[in-house]
Amino acid sequence: MKSLLPFLGVASTTLALSIPDTQQILGAFTDFSARETCPQAAKVAAPNDGLHDASHFLSDAVFRSRQAKRLSGAVQVPTSITDYMVDPYDPAFEPFVKFQEYLEETFPLVHSRAKVEHVNRLGLLFTLQGSDTAAKPLLFMAHQDVVPIDDPSDWTHPPFEGYFDGEWMWGRGASDCKNVLIGLLSVVEELFEQDWAPQRTVVLAFGYDEESHGFLGAGNLSSALEERYGKDSFEFVLDEGGMGVQSLGGDDEVVYALPGVGEKGSIDLVMEMAVPGGHSSIPPAHTGIGIMAEILYSLERQELFSPWLHESHPAHGMLECQARYSPDHVEPWLAEKLAAGDAAALGEALASSRGAAVRYLLQTSQAADLIHGGVKTNALPEKISATVNYRVALHQTPDELVDRALRIIGPIAESHNLTVQHDFPNLDLEGTRRQSLLDDDTDAPERTLTLSSLSEPLMPAPISPTDPLSSKTWARFAGVTRSVFESHPNPLASSSKKNPTVVVTGDIMTGNTDTRFYWPLSRNIYRWSPSRVGGTANIHTVDERIRLDVHLEGMMLYYDLIRSFDQWDE
Ligand SMILES: *[C@@H]1O[C@H](CO)[C@@H](O)[C@H](O)[C@H]1NC(C)=O
Ligand SMILES: *[C@@H]1O[C@H](CO)[C@@H](O)[C@H](O)[C@H]1NC(C)=O
């Protein structure tokens, strides 16, 4: 994942839950009235297909130790990526070749029975061809690359040792996301070991630059898939991400399974200024750096963004679930404010109550991240540039943000006689603003401010449907998820021996995953590493690790999803 996931849950407490017991909840789950909040899909039991039970992964000691070795071996290959690796034949990609050799040795059945293709040299595409060509295939994604290490001596165990302490697997990529990639391949290997022959085609697509730009891997994989299968051709797409699996409550635990069903958009606004130079001893009142500072100062103070929580936002549904199933663990006013339907008031109340991670699910963020200018203390700066990163909230568009920036920057530029140019062709800037900004009869041509975006602006992702009544795919996906996570006690809670109640509800992500390239392929895109919060740690930083139990639970989900969709006739 490109950024740390916000944790939506309020702090877990040990208070007993005053929620309906499991029986009542199950009753409520099946009672779909029109105005019901947080409707849940019926549980979907694993099919009677003669294959062993998913619980085998968690309970079989031999399997566990083999899985620890598989994941450790994958962590040991340092598939780090930097932003400067833009050619698949860059020698820095050599570890990826080793990584793929490791996969071939470790998963012989996958490599002999699936069709294995390389896309743009290192993108990996596995096709498990099903016999039923009318059934839409399933697409599972992961990425082979990991973020680089800053200082290895900061780590408790060397980052590429793949050290397993009996509980935790330590190392770069252990939880982002070699656990996903190895989990998927292990599950398919396990299916083939039992002579499974798919009816519904399953595709695994593993990019290799998700932590950079994603163009080499997912960018090329997605176009290859679209060319082969067409638009809207996959039953669902499941990638890493999401808010994991979060628990509220003690013994009467309610477990929230939180796939990401949307993502914010993004745009990097680049501002490049050119002004005449000269000797520092005879400066103008404001150098180019001073003007750029005024621009950034104003962007951070004018027309500020606000949180907005409309009922169409997936977090709204997630919060309704918390209010319904964990009322003692949420703000006492939550249910009332959700029902009142004032998107601005609700957004602000939640952002204030839950902090920045939640605020930025609900509002656009703005961060001035880069600035350059000046070469010497006796020469005035001639070229000054700055880049501001925006993560676009669901109710806004990148164009709106550029429009706002131009509104703020325009008068400043004008007061300094700067000609503003931009290359946003889609932007509707008809009328006076555009006229005055581009009016060049007052401005000297050597004083310019050019606005552009670093790469193609990204709209907020389309929201994948999560109503079990109208989306059969979601109903089945959520039903399998409930079955898997209700089948055993939380392995992280040493005291709890009861199987939990599971609520499945979508949410969104503030960061972006490789799925940004996959929108045309399916209406049902789920970004979800099915890992319990508390069972993974330190993604993108020192001491990244994952509990082996959590990795195994994720495999249970992949295994049962493949089986439950295999013969499903919607
Ligand atoms: C495919 O990869 C090439 C580089 O190998 C890159 O230039 C191009 O943008 C990628 N295509 C897509 C659709 O992202
Ligand atoms: C801008 O141009 C006007 C008219 O040419 C001039 O009077 C003014 O001093 C200029 N200001 C700056 C900051 O260059």
In angstroms, what is the C-alpha Rg of the chain? 26
Q: Which of 210, 239, 514, 549 is catalytic?
A: 210
Nearest ligand to the CA of 219 is 1
Question: Structural domain boundaries of the chain?
Answer: 67-241+513-570, 265-303+364-453
What is the pairing mode between strands 202-207 and 138-143? Answer: parallel
Residue ranges with strand state E in 77-165: 115-119, 123-128, 138-143
Give domain 265-303+364-453's CATH number out of 3.30.428.10, 3.40.50.620, 3.30.70.360, 2.60.15.10.
3.30.70.360
**Helix ranges (DSSP H) in 369-464:** 398-415, 432-438
Nearest ligand to the CA of 291 is 2
- 265-303+364-453 has the same fold as 67-241+513-570: no
Instruction: Choose one of 84, 96, 209, 215 to mutate for the ligand 1 pocket test, by most ligand atoms within 8 angstroms of C-beta.
Output: 215
Give the CA angle between residues 533, 363, 468 to the nearest 5°: 55
Residue 416, ligand 2, Cβ within 6 A? yes
Instruction: Choose one of 417, 443, 447, 448 to mutate for the ligand 2 pocket test, by most ligand atoms within 8 angstroms of C-beta.
Output: 417
The C-alpha atoms of residue 277 and residue 259 are separated, in whole angstroms, by: 53
In CATH terms, the superfamily for domain 67-241+513-570 is Zn peptidases (3.40.630.10)
Residue 276, ligand 2, Cβ within 6 A? no
Please give the distance, rounded to the nearest whole angstrom, from the Cα atom of residue 415 to the centre of ligand 2.
8
Q: Report pLDDT for 497.
A: 75
pLDDT tens string for the chain (570 positions)?
544 333 344 433 333 333 333 334 444 444 444 568 999 999 999 999 999 999 999 999 999 999 999 999 999 999 999 988 999 999 999 999 999 999 999 999 999 999 999 999 999 999 999 999 999 999 999 999 999 999 999 999 999 999 999 999 999 999 999 999 999 999 999 999 999 999 999 999 999 999 998 999 999 999 999 999 999 999 999 999 989 999 987 667 899 999 999 999 999 999 999 999 999 999 999 999 999 999 999 999 999 999 999 999 999 999 999 999 999 999 999 999 999 999 999 999 999 999 999 999 999 999 999 999 999 999 999 999 999 999 999 999 999 999 999 999 999 999 999 999 988 876 644 333 343 444 444 444 589 999 999 988 999 999 999 999 999 999 999 999 999 999 999 888 877 678 889 999 999 988 889 999 999 999 999 999 999 999 999 998 999 999 999 999 999 999 999 999 998 987
The C-alpha atoms of residue 465 and residue 525 are separated, in whole angstroms, by: 9
The ligand 1 atom at the shortest distance from the C-alpha of residue 222 is 13
Please give the distance, rounded to the nearest whole angstrom, from the Cα atom of residue 480 to the centre of ligand 1.
36
Please give the distance, rounded to the nearest whole angstrom, from the Cα atom of residue 224 to the centre of ligand 1.
11
The ligand 2 atom at the shortest distance from the C-alpha of residue 417 is 1
